Amino acid sequence: MRARLLAVALASAALAVGPVASAQAGRTNGTITVFARVGAPGEPSLTLVTPDRHVFVGTFEDVTGSDTSASKVFEYDAHGKLLRTFVIKGQTPNKAHGIQVAARDRKGRLYLLDQSPARVLTLDPRTGAQRTYATFADLPTCGTGAATACSNSVLDNAPEPDYAAWLPDGSMLVTDFAQQLIWWVPAGGGKARVWFNDARLDGELFGPAGIVLMPKHHSVLVTAATGGITTIDPTDNSTRGRLYRIGIARHDRVGKVSTLWSSKATQAPDGFAVSADHRHVFVAMAGPVANCVVEVAHQRTGWHQVWQVPSCGVGAGSSSPVQWDTATSVQFLGRSILVTNQAYFTDIASHWVIFRVTEPLRGMPIYVPRSAGQG
């Protein structure tokens, strides 16, 4: 479904590429510990931190797609103690499964992005109740002559919803990293419609990932592995990932699109978190030649990478208790960041952890409107 064999080849070939620049000298933060270990079926993806400092994380599929067991959501307290486990219901039989704990509403319900079937699923942690909230269509590629309801990807991928952000009216934006677009889910749920479909989001295998609504609600930040990663040439600038700002015009229409920052070649930015002052973005670099978190800061001359932890590269994390292996998500928890270690390419169970990295900055609160989840 995501050209898995090609992804395996990329990961293997990447072993020949050495680490890139080391972490910024003199930075006093960055101590790495294991916050929690994640059980089977593993491959932890997006974490979500609630106002009571509980941490939820879902399990994802591996690169081979051979594990067809039901996804799970794990709930931890602020110290990493496992509190509860939820088994996801209603997933397509005999398919690989993946769940992203992408959002919450003010009643405490969680909004999960399911891969198979492609849907938004609500989970009430108090009762365990689950229900389908929204669905996503499998679109034709735009090259087939379809109009706006099409995918700009060069590959005819099935939908794979990845990250979500609420809008003030209770509607939701959802990235689809396989169909290379951003969906709009109406308030109260239902059938999603294409919100932003642009060739700049086409990463061939992996496209748009993280999405965060910025203050004043006039724009979202979005990461994307644009330009494709089918080459492993680290000098090929077309394979740089991007951090975009996408404006939101009246009636939730797409506004101006601008590139804030570009990653190093062949790296794939994934989930990210924004600091409370809105001037620092901490981006998980999934790889296949990254395995780190980079800090991108707004300075007088624009947005620039100023720090990374650990030193980005294959086999990164020599100072870490567990090797960094496909970092996919960043969330603030007090004066630290939580980073999921998915081990997507290697599928090594001992690497399925959530890291805790000390960080002097605090995070920007994730926006949740009063209308979230209501029709």
- Per-residue DSSP letters for 47-65? EEE-TT--EEEEE---TT-
φ/ψ bin of 278: left (φ > 0), alpha (ψ from -120 to 50), beta (otherwise)? left
> Between 28 and 30, whose confidence is greater?
30
CA distance 149 to 182: 11
Least confident window among 267-276, 279-288, 354-363: 279-288
Query: What are the tens digits of pLDDT across the range 304-330?
Result: 999 999 988 765 556 789 999 999 999
Superfamily designation of domain 4-358: TolB, C-terminal domain (2.120.10.30)
pLDDT at 16 over 50: no
Least confident window among 150-154, 272-276, 343-347, 350-354: 150-154
Average of per-residue pLDDT values in the chain: 86
Give the residue ranges of DSSP H helices in the chain: 4-13
CA distance 330 to 295: 11
Query: What are the tens digits of pLDDT across the range 85-104?
Result: 999 999 999 999 999 999 99
How many other CB atoms sit within 10 Å of the CB of residue 347? 18
pTM for the model stands at 0.91
Whether residue 244 contacts residue 260, with contact meaning beta carbons closer than 8 Å, is answered with: yes
pLDDT at 34 over 60: yes
Domains in the chain: boundaries:
4-358
Query: What are the tens digits of pLDDT across the range 35-45?
Result: 999 999 999 99
Least confident window among 266-270, 280-284, 360-364: 266-270
CA distance 323 to 353: 10
| Residue 355: pLDDT band with limits 50, 70, 90 | very high
CA distance 245 to 211: 10
φ/ψ bin of 203: left (φ > 0), alpha (ψ from -120 to 50), beta (otherwise)? alpha
Say which amino acid occupies 372: A
Largest Cα–Cα distance in the chain?
54
Query: What are the tens digits of pLDDT across the range 156-193?
Result: 889 999 999 999 999 999 999 899 899 999 999 999 99
Average pLDDT over residues 253-263: 94
CA distance 99 to 164: 12
pLDDT value for 1: 41
Which residues neighbour 163 within 8 Å (Cβ) at sequence distance 6 or greater?
46, 100, 102, 113, 174, 175, 209, 210, 211, 271
pLDDT at 123 over 80: yes
pLDDT value for 143: 73
Whether residue 322 contacts residue 339, with contact meaning beta carbons closer than 8 Å, is answered with: no
